[in-house]
Amino acid sequence: MTLALVGIIFVQAFWIKTTLDNKERQFSLNVNQALKSVSEQIQSREMRDYLAVYQKLIDSIGSPKESQLTAVFKYVDRNENTNQTYIYSHGILEEDYNVSPELFDSDAIDTNSIKEYKGIKTTTIIDEAFDREMQNMSSIERLQRVERLSLIDKAKYASVFMELASLKPIHRRLTNLELELLLQRELNDRDIDIPFQYRVFNGDYATKIGSDGYSNLEGLNKYKTPLFVNEEGNSEFELVIAFPERKIFLRSSLITLIILSLLFTITIIVAFVTTINQIFKQKKVSEIKSDFINNMTHEFKTPIATIKLAIDAIENVNIENDKSKRSQYLKMIRDENDRMNMQVENVLRISQLEKKENIIKKSTCDIHVIIKEALVHLDLLLKNRSTITNISLKAKSCFIEGSFEDLVNVMVNVLENSIKYSEDVPEIHISSYNEKKFIVVNITDKGMGMSNSVKDKIFDKFFRETKGNIHNVKGHGLGLSYVKKIVDLHDGMIYVDSKIGKGTTFLIKLPLII
């Protein structure tokens, strides 16, 4: 059962960990896809802006019907001091004069018209005009102009515009608003609706583009993607994003299953521990009951043997006519019979008290009289052990509402317990005093004492303190259990204080009649 339980716990833990790992991988995949999409959209938007401005310039100049200018940009340079951009270009001007070669040679085979080609080299200086044009154009106008460009034109000028754009600082190519809106849209499309922090880095240096709370994200997992990738696949800038509530978000999707799993596992553990505990308790009870039966057998064996011997003696011819001897043996039989009957009554009374079938009958009682009556009952035992008894009954108020017979038995059991567990000559001190609305009876002996573990169990049914042989002290282990139940039924309290080798003190506290 233990191995199976441990196995179930490990399987549950492994399943939860595997599920969380899968969620982590899916989350990372979605975030990386979102970042890639954002990077592509930003680069595409920037290219559209440049192409839109270029188309506007073409529209404003127009194209010659008889001439065609094919321009190829060779080099772009930017002067940071003057904030001007230099575009060095080389072009070929093709002009068609619509003149056929047959005018010069009637036998000419070539019928194409004569064309003139001129090489043109120019240097163009852009002084923020390109940026102003982009700012002045609306989104619709940009889209319309870009759509008018052919794919060939777009491809032809893309690399030039990428080089031109790379000369500008990042905060002029991208805004926090645009980047944050794109990130939110792409993450929401992938069901990632949690707060995030981001920052654009140029190498190891942070740029102006980023959220304010990014600097406080030490120790968090970060996801990265390059921005503004050139034709060679390289990029100076990198977008980094982090999610402060990532772990909470990942666990929230599994929280119900995790709670149910933990709840069922805890239930199984509690049931398992309870079952094992009950097994040990039943085993202990079985051992205690076996000891009880052995003790009862031992307790009954002696009086039965005594009765048998007395009967045999009475039947003896020599004693038949000896009335004094006959009376002595008959008294012995009667005493032993009463002793067995009292033991049986104690067992039955404990059983009745357990089942609450016996409601004790209370009347006004003097606790001092009860103590003296208990001493009378134990007179023979006290004399046999030469017990030293010190009595100091100083309580001024001593009347209680209780069962006289049961309370006498309580005192008898406690005193008998003190006598039985005294190794040498028993020495017992009995005192009484008042404490507020209670009378307190203190019974102290100088016996062998008991340990704390034993002290916690002496009021348990069938428990007996023994030394080696279970029969070295007579009794069934019911006396103090009976005492505790009777005191409780009188709304009283009983305490015990004991030290090994020093002795034991029983303190019985009962409410007075007001």
Question: What is 238-298 written as a DSSP string?
Answer: EEEEE-TTHHHHHHHTTHHHHHHHHHHHHHHHHHHHHHHHHHHHHHHHHHHHHHHHHHHHH
Residue 442: per-residue pLDDT: 93
Question: How far is the C-alpha of 25 from the C-alpha of 514, rounded, in Å?
Answer: 78
Question: How far is the C-alpha of 80 from the C-alpha of 86, rounded, in Å?
Answer: 11
Residue 472: per-residue pLDDT: 44
pLDDT classification of 468: cutoffs 50, 70, 90 = very low
The structural domains of the chain, ordered by start, are 1-98+113-253 (no CATH), 361-511 (3.30.565.10)
3-state secondary structure 415-441: HHHHHHCCCCCCEEEEEEEEECCEEEE
Structural tokens at position 350: 């404990």
Residue 323 has pLDDT above 50, yes or no: yes
At 87, which helix (H) or strand (E)?
Answer: strand 84-99
Q: Is the dihedral of CA 153, 159, 160, 165 positive or negative?
A: positive
* pTM, two decimal places: 0.44
Residue 433: per-residue pLDDT: 93
Residue 476: per-residue pLDDT: 47
Alpha helices in 315-378 (DSSP H): 317-320, 323-355, 367-377
What distances in angstroms separate CA 469 from CA 2, 296, 386, 464, 514, one per listed residue?
A: 36, 15, 25, 12, 48
pLDDT digit string, tens, across residues 154-177: 565 666 667 777 777 888 888 888
At 303, which helix (H) or strand (E)?
Answer: helix 255-314
Question: How far is the C-alpha of 482 from the C-alpha of 353, rounded, in Å?
Answer: 8
Angle of CA points 207, 210, 212, to nearest 5°: 115
